[in-house]
Structure 1
Amino acid sequence: MKQVKFDFERIGTIDDFYVILVRELGLPEHFGRNLDALWDSLTGDVALPVSIQFVNLSMAQLETFEKQISLFEEAAEELGADFTFEYYLKPMY
């Protein structure tokens, strides 16, 4: 199973996220960089099986990326065992 990790210490904006997403998941260059395009790509363009992790999310990023996180969770429910998704908050010291 391919494993893809998005480190949110290196992702500042939603635009940054989509640039990295296209590269890491091998999405087509014409990817629309919006929630509808994200759903279509996750459920149709991404090679399965795949395991995706979002790591080092701050509380502010958790709020900023709430819709994207929800969409990844929905894709995991829809696609079953071939698509797993987890996210982890940045440790607070």
Structure 2
Amino acid sequence: MNVYIDFTDIGDYEDFYDQLKEKLPLPDYFGDNLDALYDSVTGFVELPLHLEFVNMSVEQLETFEDLLTTLEDAHDEVEDFTFSYYLEQYEDEE
């Protein structure tokens, strides 16, 4: 399963978890925290799973650094889980 999260409208973790819960079948008891996300990815969600974050700003890289680290740890633990992230692209104005 491929899940795409567009960071254009994400300002904080609450926004992130709202989008994640819309796109990924998480249990009702899912807690909006990194431990719950790690537990879900490493044991509860259907695999294979690829999370792709698009349109991240440089500021969001800093804000969500713990999220990226948590997902890197999950990737190291679970063979069928991958994720990637991409910075937003700016077009040159001429």
1: CA distance, partners of 2:78 / 2:52: 16
2:69 and 2:45 mapped to 1: Cα distance?
17
Could you say which residue in structure 1 is the equivalent of 2:70? 71
Query: 1:22–1:28: 8 Å Cα contact kept in structure 2?
Result: no
Cα deviation, residue 39, structure 1: 1.0
Match of 1:91 in 2: 89
How far does the alpha carbon of each residue in 1:63-83 deviate from its partner, in whole angstroms, 9 at most, with x for none? 111101111111111112x11
Contact 2:41/2:81 (8 A) holds in 1: no
Q: Deviation string for 1:6-30 (max 9, x for gaps)?
A: 1000222210101111221110121
Partner of 2:43: 44
Q: Which residue identity is paired with 2:76?
A: E
Segments ≥4 residues shifted beyond 6 Å: none
Q: Which runs of 5+ in 2 are unaligned?
A: none
Contact 1:11 1:17 in 2 (8 A): yes
Quote the Cα distance in structure 2 between the aligned partners of 1:92 and 1:78: 35
- Per the alignment, in what secondary structure is the counterpart of residue 9 of structure 1? helix
With the length of structure 2 as denominator, give the TM-score of the two structures: 0.89
Give me the CA root mean square deviation: 1.1
Size of the alignment, in residue pairs? 91
